[in-house]
Amino acid sequence: MEPLSGEALDALLRGFLAEDVGRCDVTTDATVPRGTRSVGELVAKSECVVSGLPVARRVFELLDPGLAWSHEAPAGSAVSPPAVLGRLAGRARSILTAERVALNLLQRMCGIATQTRRFVDAVAGTGCQILDTRKTAPGLRPFDRQAVRDGGGRNHRYDLTEMVLIKDNHRRLAGGVAQAIAAARSSAPEGTPIEVEIESEKDLSDALAAGAERILIDNQPPDIVARWCAAAKTASRAGRPIFVEASGNMRLETVRAYALAGVDAVSVGSLTHSVAAADVSLELSPG
What does the pLDDT look like over 237-253, one tens digit per residue?
767 789 999 999 899 99
Which residues are known catalytic residues?
A: 100, 135, 167, 197, 218
How large is the C-alpha radius of gyration of the chain? 23
Query: Does residue 171 share a domain with residue 102?
Result: no
Question: Residue 246's closest CA among 222, 230, 270, 227?
Answer: 222
pLDDT tens digits for 200-225? 999 999 999 998 899 999 999 999 99
Is 185 part of a structural domain of the chain?
yes
Q: What is the pLDDT of residue 2?
A: 65
Identify whether residues 266 and 282 lie together within a single domain. no
Say how far apart CA 112 and CA 134 lie, in whole Å: 14
pLDDT > 90? residue 23: yes
Q: Are residues 160 and 238 in the same domain?
A: yes
Side-chain-side CA neighbours of residue 231 (13 Å): 20
At 241 the pLDDT is 84
Pair (78, 126) in one structural domain:
no
What CATH number is given to the structural domain containing 102?
A: 3.90.1170.20
The stretches of the chain forming alpha helices (DSSP H) are 6-21, 26-31, 53-63, 92-122, 141-150, 168-174, 177-187, 201-209, 222-237, 252-260, 270-273
Residue 16, φ and ψ in degrees, nearest 5: -65, -40
Distance CA 15, CA 6 (A): 15
- Whether residue 4 is predicted with pLDDT greater than 90 in this model: the reply is no
Domain co-membership, 164 together with 248: yes
Does residue 1 form part of some domain?
no
Same domain, 177 and 76: no
The answer to whether residues 154 and 126 touch, using CB atoms and an 8 Å cutoff, is no
Considering the domain architecture, whether residues 61 and 105 belong to the same structural domain is answered as yes
What is the span of the domain harbouring residue 82? 6-115+275-286
Which residue type does 269 have?
Answer: G
Exposed e or buried b per residue across 253-278, where buried means at least 16 C-beta atoms within 10 angstroms of its C-beta = eebbbbbebbbbbbbbbbbbeebebb
Q: Quick one: average pLDDT of 103-114?
A: 98
Q: Provide the domain count of the chain.
A: 2
pTM for the model stands at 0.95
Residue 10 pLDDT > 60, yes or no? yes
Do 225 and 279 lie in one domain? The reply is no
